[in-house]
Amino acid sequence: MQQRELGKSGLKVSAIGLGCMGLSFAYGPATEEQQAIRLIQSAFDQGVTFFDTAEAYGPHTNETLLGKALASNRDKVVIATKFGFIDGQPPKGVDSRPETIRAVTEASLKRLNTDRIDLLYQHRVDPAVPIEDVAGTVRDLIQEGKVLHFGLSEAGASTIRRAHAVQPVAAVQSEYSLWWREPETSILPTLEELGIGFVPFSPLGKGFLTGAIDAATTFDKTDFRNVVPRFTEENRKANAVLVEALGKIADSKGVTRAQIALAWLLAQKPWMAPIPGTTKLARLEENIGAAAIVLSTDELAQIETALSGIAVVGDRYPAHLQQRVDR
């Protein structure tokens, strides 16, 4: 698979990575361990070298899973993980105190069975801790060889600039897809100016852009989408028009909706590497196949025209979580 450099960081990753969260967390029951390991290893065998996890996914269990799955290929992959929640549990709130960052890093190194973390993100901005202190702590960990690169997740432009002035930020991770394009306003221009890479999460709209979810779909009681306004039955019905438009474009090219959505992201910037997640081998293969799809200027214009008049209905997070996103 094609490799991409995240900004000007020197960190090279596969054009499409694997978001591992859903194997352990948020989208219903965790995948059985050996099945999850097989999926991660299959991703590597198909050219994926960029794997995304976090202390909070499980919590902790996803890092352990990834450490087991990638042990024999550790030097051939880039592992990204995150700190920033109290006890690694988002409902408890954020915690990016320097001592917490250090403790979480040490614990993550053990769970991942590695001697360094390739990319360490702050999972969410902590308003109680100056971003300069966060960046300074990660800078020290980089100097000690425990971390190689620093990243931010869902941070606003001003926070990115302040952090970057203390320790160069290799990548920013935020939600970005054909149904959530807010980063285009200020985040992407800031990253381009500063030479920072971008890692879109939920590039398939938490599964909605695949066409596999409709108004009649029911989610497991533990599935996070049950509380997401955009996924109410009424809003799924309203948002189906976006998937229908995407389907017409995909059909004309002989590919799937998911592949068009991922190929569109890859066409936006050469320093962007999306991390779709899945628990299914067939979906994994489908997602990876998007890396070989090249959209022409005319096709990209066609997508813009087809989707320009479609308004996506519903917030992407419940109100109590949205306020944690720094703008």
pLDDT tens per residue, range 267-276: 999 999 999 9
- Determine the distance from the C-alpha atom of residue 242 to the mean position of all C-alpha atoms in its chain, rounded to a whole number: 22
Average pLDDT over residues 122-142: 98
Q: Is the pLDDT of residue 297 over 60?
A: yes
How far apart are the C-alpha atoms of 273 and 157, rounded to whole Å? 19
Write out the H or E segment, with its range, that includes residue 63: helix 61-70
Q: Does residue 139 sit within a domain? A: yes
How far apart are the C-alpha atoms of 319 and 182, rounded to whole Å? 17
Q: Does residue 118 sit within a domain? A: yes
pTM: 0.95
DSSP state of 177: B
Tokens (6 digits) for 258? 């998911």
Q: Does residue 272 sit within a domain? A: yes
Q: pLDDT tier at 322 (50, 70, 90 boundaries)? A: low
Confidence (pLDDT) at 155: 97
Amino acid at 231: F
Q: Which stretch, 34-38, 218-222, 316-320, has highest mean pLDDT?
A: 34-38
Using only C-alpha atoms, the chain has a radius of gyration, in whole angstroms, of 19
Q: Does residue 90 sit within a domain? A: yes
Q: Does residue 245 sit within a domain? A: yes
To 10 degrees, the CA torsion angle through 242, 248, 207, 42? -160
To 10 degrees, the CA torsion angle through 19, 109, 198, 293? -40
Q: Does residue 220 sit within a domain? A: yes
Using alpha carbons, select from 180, 203, 197 the residue that is nearest to residue 276. 203
Confidence (pLDDT) at 6: 98
Confidence (pLDDT) at 284: 98
DSSP state of 312: P
DSSP letters, 94-163, are: B---HHHHHHHHHHHHHHTT-S-BSEEEESS--TTS-HHHHHHHHHHHHHTTSBS-EEEES--HHHHHHH
Domain ranges, residue 152: 3-322
How far apart are the C-alpha atoms of 49 and 69, rounded to whole Å? 13
Cβ(266)–Cβ(193) below 8 Å: no
Average pLDDT over residues 126-135: 98
Q: pLDDT tier at 321 (50, 70, 90 boundaries)? A: low
Average pLDDT over residues 11-21: 98
Question: Could you read off the pLDDT of 32-55 as tens digits, one per residue?
Answer: 999 999 999 999 999 999 999 999
Q: Kindly state the percentage of the chain with pLDDT values over 70.
A: 98
Q: Does residue 327 sit within a domain? A: no
Confidence (pLDDT) at 325: 58
260, burial (CB in 10 Å: exposed 0-12, middle 13-18, buried 19+)? buried
Tell me the catalytic residues: 57
β-sheet bridge partners, residue 200: 174
Residue 39, helix vs strand vs coil: helix
Q: Given its phi and psi angles, is residue 112 left (phi above 0), alpha (psi -120 to 50 degrees) or beta?
A: alpha
**Residue 39 belongs to a domain with what CATH number?**
3.20.20.100
Total domain count for the chain?
1
Residue 172 neighbours by CB under 8 Å, 6+ apart: 151, 152, 153, 155, 160, 187, 191, 196, 197, 198, 199
Q: Is the pLDDT of residue 326 over 80?
A: no
Average pLDDT over residues 147-155: 98
